[in-house]
Homo-oligomer: A and B are copies of this chain.
């Protein structure tokens, strides 16, 4: 029955969501990268790196948060020199959040560490199966239940 696939995904996602929010992993992975970069601020930084400079309001929907939350997280990143606020040339009310040079290096480095950490646990997987999983995951993001 096709519906049971949805049930399996629901169960697995439930476990995954809970386990992945344990802050310990970020604690170790961000060693020596400054205090501002943690499991709360990284999604903001990563989103800017992924979709480019945006306003806090636009990022809010992206990271599933209120505008105020994005603003505060961005302020911490700004104070650490990873992010800078830049007035939108098209709309002087808006302020765009832009990665600094330092921020780009930081997000690259942390992404590399995350990738290495994930890859290390996938050594037993056949490469084509791992790629199929990654492809399925990406598709699940774009056209799955969380759009």
Binding site for B on A (CB under 8 A): 2-22, 25, 42-43, 46, 50, 62-65, 111-112, 114-122, 124-125, 127, 129-134, 136-141, 143-147
Residue ID in chain B nearest A114 by CB atoms: B10
The closest CB in chain B to the CB of A124 belongs to: B143
Residues of chain B within 8 A of A118, CB atoms compared: 6, 9-10, 144-145
Q: Chain B residues with Cβ under 8 A from A147's Cβ?
A: 121
CA–CA, A96 and B42, complex, Å: 37
Residue of B nearest to A12 (CB): B137
B137 touching A2 by the CB < 8 A rule? no
CA distance A22 to B145 in the complex (A): 12
A65 CA / B141 CA spacing, docked (Å): 26
Cβ distance A104 to chain B, nearest Cβ, rounded Å: 15
Across the interface, name the chain B residue whose C-beta is closest to A43: B18
Query: A134, B8: Cβ atoms under 8 Å?
Result: yes
Additional 20 contacts, C-beta under 8 A, given A17-B21, A25-B146, A121-B143: A2-B130, A3-B119, A6-B114, A6-B120, A7-B114, A8-B134, A8-B137, A10-B115, A11-B50, A12-B138, A14-B42, A15-B141, A21-B21, A22-B64, A118-B145, A121-B144, A124-B143, A129-B136, A133-B139, A136-B136
Query: A43-B18, A136-B133 known; A6 and B115 CB under 8 Å?
Result: yes
